[in-house]
Amino acid sequence: MTFSLRRLLIGDPLQTSQASHQKLSNVVALPVFASDALSSVAFATEEMMAALLVAGAVPYFGLAPWLAVGVVLLLAIVVVSYRQTIAAYPGGGGAYTVAGENLGPFAGRTAGAALLLDYVLNAAVCASAGVAAIASLLGNYGVDIANFTIPLALCFLAFIALVNLRGAKESGVFFAIPVYGFVFIVALLIAWGGVLLLSGHWHPAHSARELAVARVAGEHEVTSLAPFGIFLLLHAFSSGCTALTGVEAISNGVQAFRDPAPKNASKTMVWMAVLLGGLFIGVSILASRAGTIPPNAQGYEETVLSQLGRVVFGTSPLYLVLQIATCAILVLSCNTSFADFPRLCSLMARDGLLPRQLSNVGDKLVFDRGIIALAVAAGLLVIGFKGSVHALIPLFAIGVFLSFTLSQAGMVKHWLGEKSRGWQGKMTINGLGMIATAVVTIVFACVKFRDGAWMILFLTPALIVLFGAIHHHYQVTARQLSLEGYRPRQRMRNHVLVLVPDLHRGVIPALQYARSISVDAYALHVLIDPQREARLREKWTLYGRGVPLQFLPSPYRSLSAPLIEFIDDLKARDPGCLVTLVVPEAIPTAWWARALHGQTALMLLWKLRSRPGVVAVNVPYHFDAWLDDDELHALDNERMVAPS
Amino acid sequence: MTFSLRRLLIGDPLQTSQASHQKLSNVVALPVFASDALSSVAFATEEMMAALLVAGAVPYFGLAPWLAVGVVLLLAIVVVSYRQTIAAYPGGGGAYTVAGENLGPFAGRTAGAALLLDYVLNAAVCASAGVAAIASLLGNYGVDIANFTIPLALCFLAFIALVNLRGAKESGVFFAIPVYGFVFIVALLIAWGGVLLLSGHWHPAHSARELAVARVAGEHEVTSLAPFGIFLLLHAFSSGCTALTGVEAISNGVQAFRDPAPKNASKTMVWMAVLLGGLFIGVSILASRAGTIPPNAQGYEETVLSQLGRVVFGTSPLYLVLQIATCAILVLSCNTSFADFPRLCSLMARDGLLPRQLSNVGDKLVFDRGIIALAVAAGLLVIGFKGSVHALIPLFAIGVFLSFTLSQAGMVKHWLGEKSRGWQGKMTINGLGMIATAVVTIVFACVKFRDGAWMILFLTPALIVLFGAIHHHYQVTARQLSLEGYRPRQRMRNHVLVLVPDLHRGVIPALQYARSISVDAYALHVLIDPQREARLREKWTLYGRGVPLQFLPSPYRSLSAPLIEFIDDLKARDPGCLVTLVVPEAIPTAWWARALHGQTALMLLWKLRSRPGVVAVNVPYHFDAWLDDDELHALDNERMVAPS
C-alpha cells in the first residue's frame, strides 16, 4: 500500500543507463543557471529599504540606488573573478572543490558547511518570498491570506521536493518562460516607470505621513546600535548583497554548456550579471521614489515590488503578470537549492564527511535522501521564522560570501602553484575578489550578528566539527574492516539453540532446521507462566523430534532477560564460541493480522544485535490469516486423511 | 537510555511471586470499591439541572429532588438485584462473565463492548470533572485556567496511568482518606445547608434574572424536541442516572472481602447505596434552592457543587476542603477505570476476543498495554470533546445500563437453569432489575441519541463485530498450527546464499558460517554500481575463501528487487526447496554510529519476511565506532605482526 502511494507520487523507477548529459545553448543555459541570481531582485531592494527605513527622521530611501550601485560593483568584481575559475575548472569548480583542492580539507569543509547552510536558507527564503508575492497580489483583490503564510510556504517546499523526487527532466522551456518572462516584465516596469517619473505622472504608493508612521514602527526593531549612521549604512548594504546569491551557479555547471564550454559559460555569466545589475539598480531607483514601504513586523504586508507594480502598472493585467512571474522565478530559485544541496551532500558523503547513504542514487536517479533532508530543514526554518523573509535575511548570504572568499582564496593559491603564463594578473584579479568578498563577509557577520547571523557563525563551525567526526569514524571503520594482515580465526564451536514459545506447526520447521545445521541443537523455553511447563513437556515427548528441551525460569516475566543471561553464561564457559539462536516465527499472510501476534521474535533479534558472536536465524512459518468455515472444514478433512 | 528513563518513571520490576491477595475489611473495602459510584455526586446533580434549565420560562429546578428520588429508587432495585449476583458468583461476577456464561458468547461480547466503552468514558469524564473542580476553585481566587482545561485533563490521565504502570500497592489509606473525606464534607455541606435554609440565612448564588439569562442561553443547545415536556423530563432523569455508574464494582471484587466474603460484600454494597443515595438527594435539594446555574457551552464555568459550596460555606476553608476532596475522589474514580479496563481486556484477550498481547502481564505485574490503551483512548476523548463533562455525559452510562441489563438477564437465566430453593423469588427480583435497567437503557438511547448517544449505539455493535473477527482469526490460526494429523515434510534441499555488499572483515564470518552449514554455499553481489565488479572480483580471488561469487545486475539500483527475483527463480526451478540467506552485518559498537551505516540488511530481512521458505541468517561483525590515533596505530602494528 505504501509502495503504490509512493509510485503515484514519485512515478516509475528509471534505469541507470537513462541518465542523460544534455548540452545547453547559452540562451537556454542562462535561465537554467541564472534563475537563482535573478530572483533576488524580488527581495534585495526591499531588504535594503527595510534597513534604511529607521535611519533618520525621514527614511534615507534616496541612498538605496547608490547602495545598489555599490552592490553591482561588487557583483562585477565577483563575476570577473569567477570567469577565471571557469577557465581553470572546466569540469565544474564549486567552492567545496576549489577550496578543498587548493587550500586543504579544512577550507573545503568550511566551504561545504557554508554552502549547505545557504542552500537551506535559500530554499526557505524563496518559499517565503514566493508566498509573499502571492499574498501581496491577493491582498490587492481583498483576499487576506496572512494566517496561511506558513502552511502555504510548506506546500511550496513540498511541491518542489516532490518534483525533484520524481526526477523530472529539466527541460529548457520549463526554465526559459518564467525567467525571461520575469526579466521582461521587470524591464518593462523600469522603462514605463522611468517614463512616468520623468513626465511627472507619478502617484506614490504611500504619503510622507504614512512613511513617517512606518518609520516609527520600524524603529522598534532596531535595538541598541540604531543611532550609529555608518552601521545602518553597512547594514543596508549587507542586505543588498543578498542580490549576489546564486551568482556562482554557472561556474558549478560549466560541463552543461556547448563547446567551447568555458568560453560559453563565461559569456553567459557576463550576460547574467548585466541583467541582474540592470534590474536591481532600476528597481532600487524607482522603489526609492515611489513611496513604497518595506513590509516589516508591524503589519506592512505588501512587498515593495508589488507596491511598485501598482504605482507603475495600476490595475492593468501587467501587475498580475508581474506578481505571477515573481512567484514563478522564486519557485525556480528554490528549485536550484533542491538541485545543488543533494549534489553537494553526495559529494561530501563520498568524501566521508556526511552519512554514506546520502551518496546513494534512488530509483529515480536522484539523491532522494538529500532532497528530503533539505525539504525538512527548510520547512523547519520556515516554521521557526514564521515564513518571514525579513526575519530570515540576516542569516542568509553569509554562507555564500564565505564560500566566495574561500573559492577565490583557492584560486589565488592555484595560480601561485601553477605559475602559468600571465599568472600574476590572474592572481591579482582573484585576490581582489577574495579581499572584497572577505570584507563583505566580515561586515555582514558584524552588522547582522544580533539579528540572527550569530546562528550561522555558530552552526558553521559546528558542522565542520561534525564533518570531522564523521570522517574519522569512517576512517576507523575502514581500518578495522580492512583485510590487510587478516588472519582467519580457527573454526569454533557453534551452539545451536531453538527458542520455542510453544509447540505447534510453526515451530517444527525451526526444529528441523536447527537439526540440519547441528546434530546437538537443543530447544529453550522461557517459562513466564510456570503452569505451562507440564503441558509443554507432554507435547514435547510426542512431537519434539528428539530435540532436547530446557526450561529457563523468568521470575520477572521477561522473554529476553533470561535468554540473554543464558547466552552470556554459555559464552563465559566456552570463550570464543558462536551461538546460533534459531527463532521460529508464525506469520499470518495478511498484514492486519500481524497486529494480533506479538512481534516478540523481532524485538528479541533487535536486542541481540549488539551481542558479539550471536547469529540469529529466523525460520518463518506462514499461515492464512482468514479462512471461511468451508475452508476450515477442508483443512480438517485433509488432516484426517493424512497418516499421523 | 530509554531503558533508564523507563525505570525512573515506572520503577524496578516485580517478581511473579510478589503478587499479593490481601483481604479487606468492610471499612477499607467500601472506599476501594465505592469511590467510582460516590464520585458521581460531583456531576450527576449538575447534569440533571443542565437538562432542566431549558424546560420552561422559569427553570424547573424544583423537579431535581424528585428526579433524584426516582434515581435512588432505581439504585435500590439495582443494588437488591446485585446482592443476588454476589451470592451466586462469589468468585466475582462481572457482567462479561455472567452474561457470557448464562446467555452465550454474543451476550458476553455485548456486555464486554459496553463495559470497555464505559470505562474509557468514565476515565474521560472523571478527568474532565476533576479539572472542572480545580478550575472552579481557582476561578473564585481570580485565576482563570479555562484555556488549559485540555492539557490539564491530559496530565491528570497521564499521572493516573503512570501510577498504575508503576503497579503501586493500593493501600487502604490511599482510598480511605479521600473517599471518607468527600463523604464527610458533602454530608456537612448538606447538614449546614439545611440549617441555613430552614433558618432563612440563605443567599442564593445567582439572582432570578441571571437564571433567566442562563436559561435563554441554554435554549440554544436544545434543538428540535425542546417543547416536548416529557422528553425533557426523561432527558433530565437519564442525566441523573449517571449517578449509578460504578455501583457494580463491589460485585466484581467479592474475592477481596474477608470471610464470609459474599455476606460482607452484600453488606458493604448496601452501605454504599445508602451513602450515595443520601448525598445525591441532599445535594439535589440544596442545589435546586441555591440559585446555582449548571455550567454550559455559553460560558458558565463554575460547577454546581462549587457554587453550592460557596453559598453554604462562604469563604471559609471548608469550601477549599470540599473542592479538593471532590477532585481527589474523581482521581480515584478515574483510577477505577484504570484498574478495571486492563483487567477486562486481559480476560477478553484470553478468550481470543482482543489481541493476545493485552493478556501479558508486564514487568510490574500489571497489564501495561491495557493501561496505555485506556490512557490514549480517554485522552483522545478529552481532546475531541474539549474536556467538557457536559459534552461527554450523553455518551456516558448507556454502556453501564446495557451491562446491568445483560447481567440481570443472565441471572434470570441462571435461576431458571438452577431452580434451587426459592428460585422464583430470586428470579423475580433479578427480572425486575433487568426490566428497570432495560427501560432506562432504551430511554437513555432515545432521548440522548442526538446529543452523542448515537456514537455509542454505533460503536458497540462495531466492537462486537471486531471481537468476532479477532476470535475467528485466532481459531483459524490455532487450527492451522495444530499438530493434530501432522505429517512432517521430507528433508528438502537447502540453498545457502551469502549476500555480500563488498569484501572486508565484516563479511568473512558470514562466508565461514555459510560454509559451515552447507558445502555448496555461494555468494551474491547485487551490482548497483557496475564499475565495482572488477575490483570485487580481484579481491575475491585473494580473500574469497573459495566460495563462488555471482553478480546480480540491478538496473534500477535496488538492492532487494534483483535478490527477490533471484530467490523466486530458484524456488520456481526447485519447488519446495528452502533458501537460506546469510546476511553479514558490520555493526559499530556505539548507537550514534549506526546512523552512519545504512540499515539495508535489516530492511532487506523485513522485506523477505513475507516470502515462504526463506530463512534469514544475520551474522554480525562488531567493530569500534571510535578509536583515537594511538589506538589506530596499535591496531596497525598488531596487524603487521600477524602472518597474512
Instruction: Pick the residue of B6, B12, B473 with the most A CBs within 10 A to test the interface with A by mutation.
Output: B473
User: Closest-CA residue in chain A for B508?
Assistant: A488
Contact A71, A243 (CB under 8 A): yes
Q: In what order do the strands lie in the sheet with B549-553?
A: A549-553, A522-527, A494-499, A578-588, A614-623, B614-623, B578-588, B494-499, B522-527, B549-553
Instruction: Pick the residue of A360, A481, A538 with the most B CBs within 10 A to test the interface with B by mutation.
Output: A481
pLDDT value of residue B223? 45
Interface of A with B in 282-341 (CB under 8 A): none
pLDDT value of residue B77? 93
Contact A193, A280 (CB under 8 A): no
CB contact under 8 Å between A476 and B16, yes or no, is no
CB contact under 8 Å between A598 and B513, yes or no, is no
Residues 6+ apart with CB under 8 A from B383: B150, B154
pLDDT value of residue B458? 95
CB contact under 8 Å between A623 and B362, yes or no, is no
Answer whether B519 touches A (CB < 8 Å): no
Instruction: Pick the residue of B356, B365, B557 with the most A CBs within 10 A to test the interface with A by mutation.
Output: B557
Pairwise pLDDT comparison (A144 vs A284), residue with the higher score: A284
Pairwise pLDDT comparison (A146 vs B497), residue with the higher score: B497
pLDDT one-digit tens code per residue, B470-482: 999 999 998 888 8
Q: Count other C-beta atoms under 10 Å from residue B74's C-beta.
A: 23
User: Closest-CA residue in chain A for B478?
Assistant: A504
Element (DSSP H or E) covering residue B585: strand B578-588
Element (DSSP H or E) covering residue B396: none
pLDDT value of residue A526? 92
- Residue B220: which pLDDT band, with cuts at 50, 70 and 90? low
pLDDT one-digit tens code per residue, A551-593: 999 888 888 889 999 999 999 998 888 899 999 988 888 888 8
3-state secondary structure of A581: strand
CA of residue B85 relative to chain centroid, distance: 26
ipTM: 0.79
Q: What is the dihedral of CA A395, A397, A401, A406, to 10 degrees?
A: 70
- pLDDT higher than 70, residue B204: yes
Answer whether B564 touches A (CB < 8 Å): no
- Residue A625: which pLDDT band, with cuts at 50, 70 and 90? confident
Q: How far is A546 from chain B (nearest CA, A)?
A: 14
B438 grid coordinates: 432495560
Q: What DSSP line would sit under B240-297, residue for residue?
A: HGGGGTTTTHHHH-GGGBPSSHHHHHHHHHHHHHHHHHHHHHHHHHHHHHTT-----T
d(CA B126, CA B153): 9
The fraction of chain B above a pLDDT of 70, given in percent, is 90
- pLDDT higher than 90, residue B68: yes
Interface of A with B in 613-632 (CB under 8 A): 614-627, 632
B334 grid coordinates: 478515574
Contact A68, A41 (CB under 8 A): no
The one-character DSSP state at A24 is: B
Q: How far is B380 from chain A (nearest CA, A)?
A: 21
Residue B588: strand pairing partners: B623
Taking CA atoms, A292 is separated from A306, A612, B64, in Å, by: 9, 69, 68
B170 grid coordinates: 493500593
d(CA A94, CA A253): 9
Residue numbers in B near A623 (CB within 8 A): 477, 480-481
Residue numbers in A near B567 (CB within 8 A): none
Instruction: Pick the residue of B1, B14, B351, B481 with the most A CBs within 10 A to test the interface with A by mutation.
Output: B481
CATH of A35-391, one of 3.20.80.10, 1.20.1740.10, 3.30.70.360, 3.40.470.10: 1.20.1740.10
CB contact under 8 Å between A485 and B640, yes or no, is yes
Residue type, B489: R
CB contact under 8 Å between A598 and B357, yes or no, is yes
Contact B162, B9 (CB under 8 A): yes
Least confident residue range of A276-285, A382-391, B360-369, B446-455: B360-369
φ, ψ (nearest 5 deg) of residue A274: -65, -50
Average pLDDT over chain B, rounded to an integer: 86
pLDDT one-digit tens code per residue, A519-552: 889 999 999 888 889 999 999 998 888 899 999 9
Contact B383, B150 (CB under 8 A): yes
pLDDT one-digit tens code per residue, B379-420: 999 999 988 888 898 898 889 999 999 999 999 999 998 888
**Domain locations in chain B?**
35-391, 494-636
Residue type, B341: F
- pLDDT higher than 50, residue A201: yes
B277 grid coordinates: 443515595
- Residue B559: which pLDDT band, with cuts at 50, 70 and 90? confident
- pLDDT higher than 80, residue B492: no
- pLDDT higher than 50, residue A643: no
pLDDT value of residue A170? 59
B634 grid coordinates: 596499535
Residues 6+ apart with CB under 8 A from B153: B124, B127, B128, B130, B131, B382, B387
Answer whether B362 touches A (CB < 8 Å): yes
Taking CA atoms, B148 is separated from A470, A473, B132, B134, in Å, by: 44, 47, 11, 11
d(CA A436, CA A425): 17
Answer whether A470 touches B (CB < 8 Å): yes
d(CA A457, CA A449): 8
Answer whether B505 touches A (CB < 8 Å): yes
φ, ψ (nearest 5 deg) of residue B13: -70, 160
Pairing of strands B614-623, A614-623: antiparallel
pLDDT value of residue A221? 52
pLDDT value of residue B225? 45
Handedness of CA B514, B515, B516, B517 (dihedral sign): positive
User: Closest-CA residue in chain B for A579?
Assistant: B619
CB contact under 8 Å between B644 and A610, yes or no, is no
pLDDT one-digit tens code per residue, A381-434: 999 998 888 889 889 888 999 999 999 999 999 999 888 888 899 999 999 999
Average pLDDT over residues B161-171: 75
- pLDDT higher than 50, residue B575: yes
Q: Which residue has the cell 453501564?
A: B400
- pLDDT higher than 90, residue B460: yes
Interface of B with A in 227-286 (CB under 8 A): none
- pLDDT higher than 60, residue A1: no
- pLDDT higher than 50, residue A194: yes
pLDDT value of residue B249? 86
- What Rg, from alpha-carbon coordinates, does chain A have? 33
- pLDDT higher than 50, residue A224: no
Q: Which residue has the cell 587478516?
A: A486
pLDDT value of residue B299? 56
Answer whether A490 touches B (CB < 8 Å): no
Taking CA atoms, A103 is separated from A99, A308, B295, in Å, by: 5, 46, 74
CB contact under 8 Å between B609 and A618, yes or no, is yes
- Residue B1: which pLDDT band, with cuts at 50, 70 and 90? very low
A427 grid coordinates: 592572481
Least confident residue range of A515-524, B18-27, B438-447, B624-633: B18-27
d(CA B242, CA B49): 13
- Give the nearest partner residue to A543 out of B479, B486, B593, using CB atoms: B486
Pairwise pLDDT comparison (B212 vs A515), residue with the higher score: A515
Residues 6+ apart with CB under 8 A from B142: none
Element (DSSP H or E) covering residue A141: none
Least confident residue range of A12-16, A567-571, A594-598, B83-87: A12-16
Answer whether B504 touches A (CB < 8 Å): yes
Residue numbers in A near B627 (CB within 8 A): 476, 479-480
Give the angle A628-A634-A636 at the CA atoms, nearest 5°.
Answer: 105
Least confident residue range of A162-171, A485-494, B210-219, B584-593: B210-219
- Residue A219: which pLDDT band, with cuts at 50, 70 and 90? low
Residue numbers in B near A619 (CB within 8 A): 615
B334-367 burial by CB neighbour count: b if 16+ within 10 A, else e? bbbbbbbbbbbbbbbbebbbbbbbbbbbbbbbbb
- Give the nearest partner residue to A615 out of B545, B556, B619, using CB atoms: B619
Q: How far is B111 from chain A (nearest CA, A)?
A: 22
Number of CB pairs, chain A paired with chain B, less than 8 A apart: 218
Q: How far is B503 from chain A (nearest CA, A)?
A: 8
Average pLDDT over residues B321-326: 95
- pLDDT higher than 90, residue A123: yes
- Give the nearest partner residue to A596 out of B13, B356, B486, using CB atoms: B356
- Give the nearest partner residue to A487 out of B586, B597, B643, using CB atoms: B643
Pairwise pLDDT comparison (A298 vs B311), residue with the higher score: B311
pLDDT value of residue B19? 61
CB contact under 8 Å between B624 and A360, yes or no, is no
Answer whether B2 touches A (CB < 8 Å): no
- Give the nearest partner residue to A508 out of B488, B530, B558, using CB atoms: B488
Domain A494-636 belongs to what topology? Rossmann fold (3.40.50)
pLDDT value of residue B587? 87
Q: How far is A125 from chain B (nearest CA, A)?
A: 30
pLDDT one-digit tens code per residue, B124-148: 999 999 999 999 999 888 888 878 8
Interface of B with A in 572-591 (CB under 8 A): 578, 585-589
The residue among B405, B332, B377 whose CA lies nearest residue B129 is B332
User: Closest-CA residue in chain B for A542?
Assistant: B483
- Residue A125: which pLDDT band, with cuts at 50, 70 and 90? very high
Pairwise pLDDT comparison (A613 vs B120), residue with the higher score: B120
CB contact under 8 Å between A595 and B15, yes or no, is no
Contact B127, B156 (CB under 8 A): yes
The fraction of chain B above a pLDDT of 90, given in percent, is 44
- Give the nearest partner residue to A513 out of B477, B504, B615, using CB atoms: B615
Give the angle B424-B428-B431 at the CA atoms, nearest 5°.
Answer: 135
CB contact under 8 Å between B476 and A624, yes or no, is yes
